[in-house]
Amino acid sequence: MKGRALYGLVAEFLEPERLLAAAHAARQAGYKCTDAYAPYPVEGLADALGMRFTGVPLTTLLFGIGGGTTGYAMQLYSAAVDYPLNVGGRPLNSWPAFVPIIFELTVLAAAFGAALSMFAFNGLPRPHHPIFETPFFRERNASRFYLCIEARDRKFREEKTRAFLEEQAPEHVWEVREE
């Protein structure tokens, strides 16, 4: 395992509360490049890590608006401008009849917006990641809780950080190296 760049130090916990506390502490201690791993979304964990906003809702909104407008534009152009046909004496711009498709396209686009932005901002898909180098991470990440302080953090000093983590009473503190 030697000779490979250090990725960070990872503390392993059995209880979410511990992790949460540790995360807060890390933040207090001024660590920025941190991440936590939990088998399920733990209330307030991300905030504890200092995560402000996700960006997902805004994208969703924009996509939605975009979808809706294209929906109406498309129908108006094709039915009233490009090839105006007299359909059973109905007005060319029968906007009430256009509503369903406008709605559907709004929802469709918004849904894509939500999904895509979530993956994009999460940097997924990313099949390869150093955290998997953490011993037993694969066996345990579905049941245990991890706090990772990355080496690239300005305040990261291997001994001090390890000591800091040890204070959080983890099960283990692993040092994880890049491949």
Partner 1 sequence: MGQIVCAWQAAIGGARGLRVNSGFARMAQLFPQYTNTLARIALPCLALGFSVVAWAVHAAWFSSYATEVNTPVEQPVPFSHQHHVAGLGIDCRYCHTSVETSAFAGLPPTETCMTCHSQVWRDAPILGPVRESWTTGRRLRWKRVHDLPDYVYFNHSIHVQEGIACVSCHGRVDRMPLMAKQHSLYMRWCLDCHRAPERHVQPMSEVFVMRDEPAQAAAASRLASRGELRGESPPIFERGRQAVREKAVRDTRLEDCSICHR
Partner 2 sequence: MALTAQRCEQVTDRLSGLVLREPLRRGWLAGFALAFALLMLLNVAIPWLLIRGVGIWGVNIPVAWGFAIVNFVWWIGIGHAGTFISAILLLLHQQWRTSINRFTEAMTLFAVACAGLFPLLHLGRPWVFYWLLPYPDTMALWPQWRSPLVWDVFAVTTYLTVSLIFWFIGLVPDLATMRDRAERPWMRVVYGIGALGWRNSARHWKRYEMAYLLLAGLATPLVLSVHSVVSFDFAVAIVPGWHSTIFPPYFIAGAIFSGFAMVLTLVIPVRAVYGLRDLITERHLDHAAKVMLATGLLVALGYASEQWMTWYADEPYDAFMSHNRMFGPYWPVWWTVMACNIGAAQALWWRRVRTSPALLFAVALLIQIGMWTERYMIVITSLHRDFLPSSWGMFHATVWDWATFAGSLGLFFTLLFVFIRLLPMIAIAEMRKQTTEGRE
Partner 3 sequence: MSTPYRASVPTPGASPQWRSLDDLARLEGGGDEFPADASEWPDALSRRRFLQLMAGSLALAGTGACTRQPREEIVPYVRQPEALQPGQPLYFATAMELGGEAFGLLVRSDSGRPTKIEGNPAHPATLGRSSVHMQAALLTLYDPGRSQGLMKSGSPATWEDLLGTLTEQRARWQERAGAGLRLLTRRIASPTLREQIARLLTKYPQAQWHEHDAAFPAPPLPAGLRLERAEVIVSLDADFFGSGALHPRAAFDFAKRRRADHGRLYVVESTPSLTGAMADHRRALRPGELADFARGLARAVREPGAEADPWIPAIARDLTEHRGRSLVVAGEFQSPEVQASARELNEALGNVGQTIDNLPPAPGPRAAALPELARAMHSGEVEALLIFGANPAYDSPADLDFNAALEKVPFTLHHGIYFDETAGRCAWHVPESHFLESWSDARALDGTVSIVQPLIEPLYPSKSAHELFAALLGELPADGYEIVRSAWQQRPGGGGFESAWRKTLHDGIAPQTGTVSAPPAQGATTQIPPTEPAAFQASLELIIRPDPHLLDGRLAENAWLQELPKPFTKLTWGNAAHLSPRTAERLGLAHGDVAELRYRGRTVRAPLWILPGHADECVTIHLGHGRNCAGSVGSGCGFNAFALQTSEAPWGGRGLEIHKTRERHVFATTQEHQRMEGREPVRVETLGKPTTPPAEAAPAREETLYPNIDYGRPSWGMVIDLNTCIGCSACTIACQAENNIPVVGREQVLRGREMHWIRVDAYFAGSVEAPQLLHQPVPCMHCENAPCEAVCPVAATVHDHEGLNVMVYNRCIGTRYCSNNCPYKVRRFNFLSYNDTHAPQLALMRNPEVSVRMRGVMEKCTYCIQRISAARIEAEKEARPIRDGEVVPACAQACPAEAITFGDIHDPESRVAALRQSPRHYALLAELNTRPHTTYLARVRNPNPEIA
Point out which residues bind partner 2 (CB under 8 A).
14-16, 23, 35-43, 45-46, 49, 51, 54-57, 60, 74-75, 78-79, 82-83, 85, 87, 90, 94, 97-98, 100-101, 103-105, 107-108, 110-112, 114-115, 117-119, 121-122, 124-129, 131-132, 138-145
Binding of residue 132 to partner 1 (CB under 8 A): yes
Query: Which does residue 69 bind out of partner 1, partner 3, partner 2, none, counting CB within 5 to 8 angstroms by kind?
Result: none
Structure tokens at 93: 């711009």
Give least dist CB 131 to partner 3, A. Answer: 48
What is the dihedral sign for C-alpha 151, 155, 160, 164?
negative
User: Which residues are CB-neighbours of 108 under 8 A, at least 6 positions away?
Assistant: 67
> How many other C-beta atoms are found inside a 10 Å radius of the C-beta of residue 19?
25
Hey, which residues does 36 pair with through a beta bridge?
147
User: What are the CA-CA distances from residue 50 to residues 24, 34, 148, 150 (Å)?
Assistant: 9, 9, 14, 15
What is the dihedral sign for C-alpha 30, 32, 35, 40?
positive
The 65-104 contact track toward partner 3, x by CB under 8 A, reads: --------------------xxxxxxx-------------
Query: Which does residue 89 bind out of partner 2, partner 3, partner 1, none, counting CB within 5 to 8 angstroms by kind?
Result: partner 3
Q: How far apart are CA 115 and CA 119, in angstroms?
A: 6
Footprint on this chain of partner 1 (rule: CB under 8 A): 81, 83-85, 125-128, 132-134, 136-139, 179
